[in-house]
Amino acid sequence: MNALDYLQFVLAPQVVNGLALGVAVVLVALGLTIIFGMLDVINMSHGEFYAIGAYAALALGAAGISFWFLLVLVPVLMVPLGMAAERLLIRPVFDSRDRHVTTLLVTFGLALVVEDLLKVAFGPNTQRPPTPIPGATELAGIIVPNYRLFLIVVGAAIVNGVAYVVYRTRLGAMVRAAAFDRNMAASLGVPVALVYAGTFAFGVALAGLAGVLLAPIYSVFPTMGRDFILLAFTVVIVGGMGSIWGAVVAGLLLTQVQALASLVISPVWTDPIVFGTMVAFLVFRPQGLFGRLGHA
C-alpha cells in the first residue's frame, strides 16, 4: 500500500470513525462515571441498563413510535426504573461497611437476572432497528455515514448538556455537595435521599439513551451489556471517577489508541493495551486525568 493511499484510506478516516466510536463509549461511560463519582457506587449492571434502553427502542420503534420521539421517551421511562433499582437494591446496602464491594456484588447479581430476562422477553436472536438517517457523506475522499455524523453531534450536545447541569446549575451544585459530604449537604437543606435516587436514575437514563442511540450501529442482543463494560470502566478510571470531561477525553483517547494499535500491531493486542493503560493509571495516577468530581 503506498503512503498516499494509507493516509487517505486508513489514517484520515480512522480519526473520524474513531470519533464516532469514541462518542459511543463516552455515552455509555457517562452514566457510569456519574454514579461512580457521585454515589461512590460501582454499578456492574450499567451495561444491562444500556441493553434495556436498546430493547425499549427496538420494541417501541417496532410499535410505530418515531426514533426522534424515542430519544426522549426511553430515557424518561428509564428514570422510574433507576429510582426503583436505587431504592430496592442500592439504598439498603449503601451504608454497609464496604460499600464498593457490596454494591458491586448486588448489581452483578442484577446484571445476571436482567440479561436472562431480556432473553425470555425478546428471544436470543440478534435484532436491529433500521438506521434512522441512511446514506453517507463524502468529505475529501473520506466516507462518513450520516448517522455517525449525527451521533457525533448529538453526543457532543449530550455531554455538554450533562456537564452544564452538573457544573453550572443549582441542581448540580446540590448533587456535588451531597457527593462531597452527605451530612454537611443534609444540614444545608439538600434532600440527600432524593438527590441520590435522582442521580442514580439519571445515570441509568443516560445508559438507556446510549442504548437508543447505539442500537442502529451495534445491534441489539441479550448479552450486549457486557460489550462496553470493561472499556467503560477503563474510561472512568483513566478519566477520573465522576469527571465528565475526564470521561470524554479518556473515551476519545482510548478508542483512538485502540483503533490505531489494531492497525499497527495485531488487533488481538488491543485488549492488553487498554488494560495496561488502566493499570498504569491506577498505579501512577489513581485520581485519573481530571481527578474526582466533588473531591478535587
Q: Which of residues 219-278 bind another protein (CB under 8 A)?
A: 219-224, 227-228, 230, 233, 237, 259, 262-263, 266-268, 270-272, 275, 278
Smallest distance, another protein to C-beta of residue 204, A: 17
The nearer residue to another protein, 21 or 179, going by C-beta atoms, is 21
Q: Contacting another protein (CB under 8 A), which of 62, 66, 84, 109? A: 109
CA 151 distance to own-chain centroid:
14
Which of 9, 165 has the CB closer to another protein?
Answer: 9
Query: Do 211 and 54 contact (CB within 8 A), yes or no?
Result: yes
DSSP string over 159-206: HHHHHHHHHHSHHHHHHHHHHH-HHHHHHTT--HHHHHHHHHHHHHHH
User: Could you say whether residue 89 binds another protein (CB under 8 A)?
Assistant: yes
- Kindly state whether residue 121 participates in binding another protein, applying the rule CB under 8 A: no
Q: Do residues 50 and 207 lie in contact, with contact meaning Cβ atoms separated by under 8 Å?
A: yes
Q: How many residues bind to another protein according to rule CB under 8 A?
A: 77
The H or E element containing residue 138 is strand 136-139
Which helix (H) or strand (E) is 265 found in, with range? none
Among 77, 79, 83, 104, binds another protein (CB under 8 A): 104
Residues 52-81 that bind another protein (CB under 8 A): none
Closest of 151, 152, 155, 159 to residue 132, by C-alpha: 151
Nearer to another protein, 71 or 230 (CB): 230
- Answer yes or no: are the C-beta atoms of 108 and 48 closer than 8 Å: no
Q: CB nearer to another protein: give 116 or 169.
A: 116
User: Residues, the chain, total?
Assistant: 296
Q: Of 69, 72, 76, 116, which one interacts with another protein (CB under 8 A)?
A: 116
Q: Which one, 119 or 295, has the nearer CB to another protein?
A: 119
Q: Is 292 in the site for another protein (CB under 8 A)?
A: no
Ranges within 164-203 binding another protein (CB under 8 A):
none
Q: Please enumerate in sequence order all residues whose Cβ is within 8 A of that of 271, keeping only pairs 6 or more positions apart, or say none.
A: none
